[in-house]
Structure 1
Amino acid sequence: MKLPEFSVKRKVTASMITMILVIVGFIAFSRLGLDFFPDLEFPTVSIITIYRGASPEDIEKTITKPIEQIVSSIVRVKKVSSISAEGASVVTVEFEWGTNLDFAAQDIRDQISLYRNQLPEGANDPLVFKFNLGQMPVIFYGITAQRPTAELKKLIEDEVAPRLERLDGVASARVFSTDIREIQVNVDKAALESRNLSLDRIIAALRMENLNLPAGYVLERQSDYLVRTLAEFESLDDIRKTVIGQTPRGELIYLSDVAEVVDGLKETRYLGRIQKEKGVFLIVNKRSGANTAQVGDRVKKELEKIIPTLPSDVKFFAAMDQADMIKRVIHRTFDTAWQGALLAIILIFLFLRDWRPTLTIALAIPLSIITTFIALYAAGYTINLLTLGGLTLGVGMLVDNAIVVIENTFRHIEMGKAAASAAIVGASEVGMAITASTLTTIIVFLPVVFSTGITAKLTQGLALSVAFSLIASLFVALSIVPLLSSLFFRSQGGNPRPVKKQFEGPRRLYRRLLTSVLRHRARVLTAALLLFLVSVGLIPIIGTEFMPSGDRRMILLKVKMPVGTALEETDRVVAMIEDLMIRQPEVQMVSSQVGSASEEDPTDLASGFAATGPHEAIIWVGLVPKEKRKRLDVMILEDIRKKLPRLENVKIEAIDMSQMFLGTQSPVEIKIFGKEIPVLKEIADNIVKQIQDIRGLRDITHTFSAGRPEYQIYIDRERAARLGLTVNQVASTLQTATLGRVATRYRQGGEEVDVRVWFKDKYRKNLRQVLTTPLVTPLNKTITLDQVIDLKRGEGPIQIIRENQARKVSVTANVFGRDIGSVTKEIKSRLASLERSLPPGYFIEYGGQYEQMQDAFKTLAVAFVLAVILVYMVMASQFESFLHPFVIMFTIPLGLIGVVFGLLIAGKTINLPVWIGFILLAGIAVNNGIVMIDYINQLWRRGIMEKREAIIEGAVTRLRPVLLTALTTILGLLPMALSRTTGSEMRSPLAITVLSGLTATTFLTLFIIPSIYSLVERVSFKDVK
């Protein structure tokens, strides 16, 4: 018993199966997570090592290079890149896609653990972590108050963060501030010298005097008693009373004799502001697999309860709210879906003029979507921009199979059959055809699903949601639609149906046009070929980019000033930019970070856009929702660029937030490789000069900063050895004198605070005083630092960037008003002569979004070719012919004509969504040809008519289902194509591609496919009138 027959004859069973699918579908939908993107885990692992005060060259030599050599030997490593900056090393290891990152990260930890003992003294243990989009903050708040920042930080840490961390799905609620509590031992250099003591002596004493140690147990009166030594500092006075030595007369020397002990704030080289006020930042992260939207809602609801209990001066500003953004995107996508479905249903009613078949077809949409939710839940997917985009894309196609079944059922009713019989025969007759057409649409995604790389990760969810929905629609068309048809439809009863009469006019017109085209098929096919060649020639005009830039409701700016600029001067310029930003009507919130915060949040270094020193700053600009403003973020940014005053030696660079989610930042990146940094800088400067006048380029800069002034201290090993001093003793004393050294930790009320030993400001910030720092030899003789060192003045790089163990300088730029492909092509043309004249050992590569685009397009081009081959194979299996599928394949180049003109009219570029749309079009375009050729073959093989008559009659008979299925898909995609709401940047190009391609291939198929079919079958129409 076939499925249509089973559904019609076993109505109750079929109805119960339908109800089960609906109930399970709603349960699956309620449990599906909401995210912006799928949970992308980029195959990268970062190793961050903090070595406070070390120069970039020292970092490169002692930390970065050894780690690079260690990780390069690990299997499946694709690329190793690194940044050696002041006080920090970041090594990023990129693996092949598909690598198990948990195992890879553990391999790296194991390898680095062997190297840990070779790290310089004072360097922190390397931090190894992997990144995925799920680690992005769910909510990022700026908090201000009319009180000291340290006090505000403690308030948020005590009253807010713990309550948020108890919420279901919340992994952490971290509080960041520029003011960090620290117990500071400010040593008086003169007092230290007079008592013949050293800084090392103070540090050793503090470490030895601040401890709690277990001492076993004793037995007393048949009971065991634990014994513990409790000697930790309980107050600042305990620290002050620490004995650090004795006078020659045996008198004790206390710490308070040579130093001030204060409860102060850690000396930081950065400032943070929210709405031009000092404050703290609260960053909330979710657990892996948690529903982003639900976690965000829980956090906001909890904050609504917490905020009234806080002091009235505490104010919260949302700098980033992923949950709100996700819900906006999802709601807007749902809107385009139901709008498309409504348009498709209205069209069906206008065609059929009967509520019964219209209702039957309309029910196919929700039933197919609900069934799709079951498959998405079982496959472990979430509802995100891509999976929901796939469902929206499929809304118009979901009714195609139902339309073909209903139309054929109608035809049998018009022939006088009973409704139940017509439902069974009508569905069974077209069952193979709609199964084949569904398979051709689904199978085009097979190469994409089984490909690798970020392209596959971004498209798999969309592809599978389309596939699941179409499989569901096929099941609904062959089971539920026949069931509803048998219940709703009425037999003909001898009265001619109005639909048949109304559609006779278009059929007669089409018959005349088709007959005329077949008589002049050579001219028509030549014209079609010329049109195809013209469209191919227009492709370079369209332009290319990796992904369309999305409006992220946030502008991220990086301010760069000359190296060596004081923090206060950088802050003055940033305040000026903040004033301009706040005056923009679309701006909701402005926060800034001046200087580097890498010591407080080392993972920030791995992002690649963090400020590297006091001469740099990051400004976050939060915008009102896209629907509430007239300008896109890129337009606002361009306006700000024009309004900013021309400041000498100040560079302001915009960072594309929408592309950061895809693992890249700069649209344009020119990578220069070589050995010597001065040569790399010279080449980079030449490149900047040659490309700076290219139209569309903005924010041109390179990653090499001017040399930072520095004093270089060389230790005289021989003199130090004669005095019994090691290089390490001399270097660590110098480090303690200026940067200070954490001697121990002070515990108070559950809080642990660093105890830092250093000289008073008047000593440690004066070079002459630093050079006369006392050193005590093993013979208890006091000397000064300048007796064992030589001092030179020089310059050092602010950071050293390497890739695959070679030094690199990158020239980067943003693009405005042009596509990346054409801009990069012009850049390559400009730099051709420079590349040929590079010194031996130096070469140029192109990275950034262009590199990603090239990789993605190659992957998708191969996927498209394989998709076309698979479509042909499916059709060959259905027709048991090699020739007829070949005829139908001509619908694909016909679709290209529509795509090219559609993109040109809409002003879109060729990007990843467009490629996906064209691959999908390869599966859709052949469907009308399948239905038409299949019916022509049926008429001819049954002996009803000759081939010539069968071609015309088959095409004319299938006109109604061909137009109806195509137009419902086109109208279903129309709201998606015209959408300008949040998230439409990804959906719109995809919809325009399918819509314009399908429009062209539908109307051209009506004439071109019969013409080619008649040509290969050698059927002449010259004598037909």
Structure 2
Amino acid sequence: MSIPKFSINRPVTIFMIFSAIALFGIISLYNLPIELMPTIERGKISIITYVRGGMPSMEIEKRLAKLLEENLSDISHLKHILTVSKEGENTVVLEFEPEANMDYASLEVRERLAKIKDEFPREAERPVIFQFGYGEFPIIAVTLISNRYTPEDLRKLAEDFLKEKFLRIEGVARAEIVGGREEKIMIELDKRKLAAYNLSLQEILDIVGASNINLVGGKINQRGTKYLVRCLGEFKTIEDIRNLAIKVSEEGSLIRLKDIAEVKADFLEPRRLSRLNIHPAVTIYIYKKSLANTLKVCEAVEDLAHQLSSELGEYTYTIVSLNRAEFVKKAINQLKISLLIGSILAIGVLFMFLREYLTIVVLSLSIPFSILFVFSMMYLAKLSINTLTLAGLCLGAGMLLDSSIVVLENIFKRRESTGRLNKTDIATASEEMSVPIFASILTTIIVFLPLIFVNKEIQKLYSGIALSITFSLMGSLGVSLSLVPCLSNLILRKKIDTKVVKTDIFEKFTHIYKKSLEFVLAFRYVFVFIAAVGVISTLFLFQKLEKEFIGAPEQDKFTIFIEMPTGTRLDVTDQIVKKVESYVEEYRKQKIVKHYNTRIEPWSARIHVELTPIEKRTKRIGEVIEELRKKTEKLSPAFIYYEEPQEVESKEILVELFGYDYEILKDLAIQSAKYINSIEGLTDVKIRMRRGAPELKILLDKQRAQLFGLTTYDVGLTLHGKLRGLIPTRFRPEKEAYINVQREEKREIGKEKGIIPLYSKYVKEIEIIARLKEVYRKKFKDLEQVFFVTPQGRVELNQIAKFDIGLAPSEIWRKDKKRMVQVSANKGKLPLSKVAREIEEVLKNVKFPEGYSWKFGESYKKMIRNQKELRFAFIIALIFVYLVLGSLFENLLQPLIILTSIPLAGIGSITVLYLKKEPVGVGVLIGGIMLAGIVVNNAIILIDTINRLKKKFSLRESIIRASAGRLRPILMTTSTTILPLLPLLIFETEASPLWKPLALTVVPGLLTSTILTLYVVPSLYLTFFKK
């Protein structure tokens, strides 16, 4: 028994099956993860190693960066290794291939580090490993604001209580606290008193560290009871530290720490500042793991922030900003609305063709079941709801009606010809269409098979849209051969008035088409020639189209970067930042800017700006950025540039310069930046290399130093301690109280409402820092007079060393074991291929010495690689379609006639792309591959009908009858495929660049192909099969 007959005879069973599908689909829908795009980013692991003593960048490169490169460069699936060496810090970023398992990769990294830990410089601390890339943007920020407590109180709250909570969220890699000064216990040593008592800094550090400790002495038995013996020496109060005995004087009196130093609870000098809309604040920046779901992480952070806001009391609250999940939600909702509007339009056009509401009921019922089937299959395939799977569903929403339309239209034709409609008629009409429906669905699905030959990144990006369309077609096939015959038997069989499906307008249109087809067939050679000329012309147009990877969506957020000369003090940078903030504040007062979050460091700053929703403001993001750029371009000596979030593809184009000598690389970068800046349309051209930091070099006379038993390490460690400070131990305050460092008083828990009792319960250890008083570490002269206590006596630094002032590289970048400097530029809306072509041209003016070279960054490489692979996939798709058609029609020539509908589609697609100046990106190429599978469907149905009719009529008569007879289903299926995609073209949104190229390729291509197929295919059939 065939499927249509089974469905007609067992309606209850069919309803139970589809009810089960619907139930599973609803459950699947609520469990599908949501994201902006499929996860195509490569897994990244960052290894950060801090080095005590302020080791310079060149020394870190030599002793640490190269060591890590040698031992990590052969890890499985590693693509690139990047190292950044700067004073006191080294960062290694490992970028992996898409197929890499990041858990295994992280484990392998830890094993490699464990093997080489003994080779690290002894000043190096234990490496910290994060699963995110160097320089990545935070995905969300939580800002603490209070109208009662200081930023220092808020920082303590964040460090001791909040940070740990955010780090527990799954997918969070790092929580960075900016703003407020760090609380420390400061031991400010008096250099003169140290000299008077002949004490060295190291002695002080050793005594303080050894005194703040609790030790277990063992156990002792006394009268049958075993006692644990403990020696308790930890500091309980600051007074305990002050009264610590350091030495016995020659007179026999105790010299206490307070006699040679000022001991106080204080704050370190601010290293970074944070503000929200001008107001001082503390911000926690959240970074996600490289492969974590942005939406899930942001939602969890947002929920926790709102929960904490209610716990913090009336004086303190949290504000969530930089939330990248908002754009994801907005883009997904826009697609959902487009899908709904498109489905309504498709049903509306069907009613115009069929003019029978009962038929619309049958087709309308098939849509939700098919879509729920798609969600069920997506859940089983572990796909996510994202812009591409929903775009595929928008296309599939029309295509899933195609098969039902063909079956239903054939049922109608049978009813028109016989004047009746029984179970046998419905089953026969459905079975007649099963082969062409199967063929058209198979050719649509088969075009996605070549995607297995492209790289993993493209597979991950577009496998979702391919599978969502495939699942739609599978659902369409099942619904058309089971649910549609079943519903037709229950709903349509009772009504046999054939006049309802015939309209004068459509009959006139069909008559006009028959006359025009007869004319074309009479002059078929001329018409086919004209069509061929059209195809060849569009091929020339295609060569003129610019190339791109993926269009960058326009968001409602951007970041202002402020770069200051190396060595600039924090307060100087802050003054420039305040001027920039004043310009942004003007837009906030105009309700264009929602809020802005500022982060200031000594040499640089970032202002993260969030605009109000686009429908509530008068200016687009590009206008705001351009106006701000004009206002800030004269703020010397700052270099200010602007960037938008890189959700999919950055608007930046990178040029990477490789070589050995950093000074030569610097000169080459300056020349390259100068020429690149001359290219019209490029903005924010910058060299990603900091100017050398001002440096006072201490040239140690090693032979003279050895006479006093001093090594370079001893000298460096002492200088570090006296100038920057060393940490001998940590102070653990009593749990029942906390220290207010501004007044050095204790407050009992519960005496105040709000923030204080909350974090005082969780107060952690406070570092004790020992260093010279500020008055002894201000000038070069103070440095020269630093002394060392040795067995041979006391010696000053100027007796064993010389001094030299110069510049040291502040940062040294290496990529794949070569030194590198990057030059970047913002290309805005310019096509990547055009920009790359012009950069190649201008860089011919820069002469690179032997051993020095340049190449484009990853975005250009991806574009070139993916363009080649997708073109190859398109050719393979055509071959697969031909193989399928040849086997179904058991003919070698008819599939070639069917395939002519593909170049005919190119006439519409390429012409529109050229007129709209749309670059050829991944979306356009995938749209072309999809089009190859879709446009052949009309030709398949047409040729199948001709094959059946020519057994009864002459060839010309069969062609005319088949073409006129299949006109209505062809127009209906084309309309229902195009209409759901129209909202994607008409409604311009921030996320449109993600899906518009695909729709811009499919809609005009399908429209042109449908019109021309109705004439070209019959003409070719008559030409090749006329006896």
Query: Does TM, scored on the shorter chain, surpass 0.5?
Result: yes
> Structure 2 stretches of 5 or more lacking a match?
736-762
1:230/1:423 CA distance change after superposition, 3 Å: farther
Corresponding residue of 1:935: 945
Corresponding residue of 1:737: 722
Residue 600 of structure 2 corresponds to residue 594 of structure 1 = yes
Q: Which moved further from structure 2: 418-427 or 342-351?
A: 418-427
Contact 2:46/2:93 (CA < 8 Å) preserved in 1? Answer: yes
Residue 624 of structure 2 corresponds to residue 636 of structure 1 = yes
1:38/1:745 CA distance change after superposition, 3 Å: farther
**Deviation for aligned residue 1:589:** 1.0
Task: Write the deviation string for residues 86-141 of structure 1: whole angstroms up to 9, x where unpaired.
Answer: 332222222333122222222222112222223223322222232399x9866422
Letter in 2 for 1:47: I
Distance in 2 (CA, whole Å) between partners of 1:921 and 1:206 is: 76
Which of the residues 481, 487, 491 maps onto 1:488? Answer: 491
**Deviation for aligned residue 1:376:** 1.4
Contact 1:172/1:284 (CA < 8 Å) preserved in 2? Answer: yes
Corresponding residue of 1:607: none
Corresponding residue of 2:437: 434
1:372/1:870 CA distance change after superposition, 3 Å: same
**Deviation for aligned residue 1:706:** 2.6
Contact 1:872/1:889 (CA < 8 Å) preserved in 2? Answer: yes
Which of the residues 621, 626, 635 maps onto 2:609? Answer: 621
Which of the residues 842, 851, 873 maps onto 2:852? Answer: 842
Q: Secondary structure at the match of 2:284?
A: strand
Distance in 1 (CA, whole Å) between partners of 2:268 and 2:392 is: 52
Distance in 2 (CA, whole Å) between partners of 1:639 and 1:200 is: 56
Residue 664 of structure 2 corresponds to residue 679 of structure 1 = yes
Contact 1:681/1:809 (CA < 8 Å) preserved in 2? Answer: yes
Contact 2:306/2:318 (CA < 8 Å) preserved in 1? Answer: no
Corresponding residue of 2:144: 143
**Deviation for aligned residue 1:345:** 0.4
Distance in 1 (CA, whole Å) between partners of 2:181 and 2:661 is: 39
Task: Write the deviation string for residues 125-172 of structure 1: whole angstroms up to 9, x where unpaired.
Answer: 222232399x98664222222432111233456776677788999898
Contact 2:39/2:460 (CA < 8 Å) preserved in 1? Answer: no
Q: Secondary structure at the match of 2:594?
A: strand
Q: Secondary structure at the match of 1:399?
A: helix
Which of the residues 253, 261, 264 maps onto 2:263? Answer: 261
Distance in 2 (CA, whole Å) between partners of 1:124 and 1:168 is: 27
Q: Which moved further from structure 2: 356-365 or 223-232?
A: 223-232
**Deviation for aligned residue 1:726:** 2.3
**Deviation for aligned residue 1:173:** 7.1
1:177/1:369 CA distance change after superposition, 3 Å: same
**Deviation for aligned residue 1:289:** 10
1:643/1:759 CA distance change after superposition, 3 Å: same
Letter in 2 for 1:74: I
Residue 561 of structure 2 corresponds to residue 558 of structure 1 = yes
The alignment-based identity, stated in percent, is: 34
Letter in 2 for 1:879: F
Task: Write the deviation string for residues 793-825 of structure 1: whole angstroms up to 9, x where unpaired.
Answer: 111122111111111112110013422211211
Corresponding residue of 2:786: 773
Q: What's the C-alpha RMSD, in Å, of the aligned pairs? A: 2.7
Corresponding residue of 1:611: none
**Deviation for aligned residue 1:10:** 0.8
Letter in 1 for 2:361: L
Which of the residues 477, 481, 491 maps onto 1:478? Answer: 481
Corresponding residue of 1:519: 522
Contact 1:143/1:274 (CA < 8 Å) preserved in 2? Answer: no
**Deviation for aligned residue 1:316:** 3.5
Corresponding residue of 1:319: 321
Distance in 2 (CA, whole Å) between partners of 1:302 and 1:399 is: 44
Q: How many residues align?
A: 992
Contact 2:83/2:813 (CA < 8 Å) preserved in 1? Answer: yes
Contact 1:393/1:466 (CA < 8 Å) preserved in 2? Answer: yes
1:121/1:1017 CA distance change after superposition, 3 Å: same
Distance in 1 (CA, whole Å) between partners of 2:1020 and 2:290 is: 55
Letter in 2 for 1:516: F
Corresponding residue of 1:728: 713
Q: How does 1:597-996 map to 2 (within 5 A)?
A: 614-657=602-645, 659=646, 661-662=647-648, 665=650, 667-748=652-733, 749=735, 750-777=763-790, 779=791, 781-834=793-846, 837-940=847-950, 943-996=951-1004
Distance in 2 (CA, whole Å) between partners of 1:72 and 1:411 is: 69
Distance in 1 (CA, whole Å) between partners of 2:596 and 2:880 is: 52
Contact 1:49/1:127 (CA < 8 Å) preserved in 2? Answer: yes
Which of the residues 585, 591, 614 maps onto 1:582? Answer: 585
Residue 357 of structure 2 corresponds to residue 343 of structure 1 = no
1:423/1:714 CA distance change after superposition, 3 Å: farther
Q: Which moved further from structure 2: 712-721 or 962-971?
A: 712-721
Q: Which moved further from structure 2: 995-1004 or 241-250?
A: 241-250
Letter in 2 for 1:57: M
Corresponding residue of 1:504: 507
Q: Which moved further from structure 2: 557-566 or 16-25?
A: 557-566
Distance in 1 (CA, whole Å) between partners of 2:302 and 2:559 is: 24
Corresponding residue of 1:76: 77
Contact 2:216/2:229 (CA < 8 Å) preserved in 1? Answer: yes
> Structure 1 stretches of 5 or more lacking a match?
596-613, 1020-1025
Residue 20 of structure 2 corresponds to residue 14 of structure 1 = no
Distance in 1 (CA, whole Å) between partners of 2:293 and 2:46 is: 26
**Deviation for aligned residue 1:346:** 0.3
Corresponding residue of 1:43: 43
Contact 1:737/1:770 (CA < 8 Å) preserved in 2? Answer: no
1:306/1:726 CA distance change after superposition, 3 Å: closer
Q: How does 1:31-110 map to 2 (within 5 A)?
A: 31-40=31-40, 42-51=42-51, 53-110=54-111
Contact 2:399/2:472 (CA < 8 Å) preserved in 1? Answer: no
1:483/1:552 CA distance change after superposition, 3 Å: same
Corresponding residue of 1:252: 254
Contact 1:183/1:261 (CA < 8 Å) preserved in 2? Answer: yes
**Deviation for aligned residue 1:248:** 3.5
Q: How does 1:97-136 map to 2 (within 5 A)?
A: 97-131=98-132
1:164/1:423 CA distance change after superposition, 3 Å: farther
Q: Secondary structure at the match of 1:48?
A: strand
**Deviation for aligned residue 1:20:** 0.8
**Deviation for aligned residue 1:665:** 4.5
**Deviation for aligned residue 1:991:** 1.6
Task: Write the deviation string for residues 472-526 of structure 1: whole angstroms up to 9, x where unpaired.
Answer: 1221111111111111113675754542665322222111212222222222222
Letter in 2 for 1:961: P
Distance in 1 (CA, whole Å) between partners of 2:133 and 2:569 is: 35
Residue 182 of structure 2 corresponds to residue 180 of structure 1 = yes
1:495/1:994 CA distance change after superposition, 3 Å: closer
Distance in 2 (CA, whole Å) between partners of 1:158 and 1:723 is: 45
**Deviation for aligned residue 1:283:** 4.4
Q: Secondary structure at the match of 1:654?
A: strand
Contact 2:179/2:272 (CA < 8 Å) preserved in 1? Answer: no
Corresponding residue of 2:750: none
Residue 396 of structure 2 corresponds to residue 394 of structure 1 = yes
**Deviation for aligned residue 1:696:** 0.9
Task: Write the deviation string for residues 864-909 of structure 1: whole angstroms up to 9, x where unpaired.
Answer: 2222222222222211222222221122222222112222444533
Task: Write the deviation string for residues 720-776 of structure 1: whole angstroms up to 9, x where unpaired.
Answer: 222212221111111112222222121223412211121111222322212322212
1:552/1:975 CA distance change after superposition, 3 Å: same
1:708/1:634 CA distance change after superposition, 3 Å: same
Corresponding residue of 1:328: 330
Contact 2:305/2:318 (CA < 8 Å) preserved in 1? Answer: no
**TM-score, with length taken from structure 1:** 0.92
Corresponding residue of 1:609: none
Task: Write the deviation string for residues 309-363 of structure 1: whole angstroms up to 9, x where unpaired.
Answer: 5454435333222443333222221111000000000000000000111121122
Contact 2:130/2:173 (CA < 8 Å) preserved in 1? Answer: no
Distance in 2 (CA, whole Å) between partners of 1:183 and 1:158 is: 16
Distance in 2 (CA, whole Å) between partners of 1:129 and 1:305 is: 27
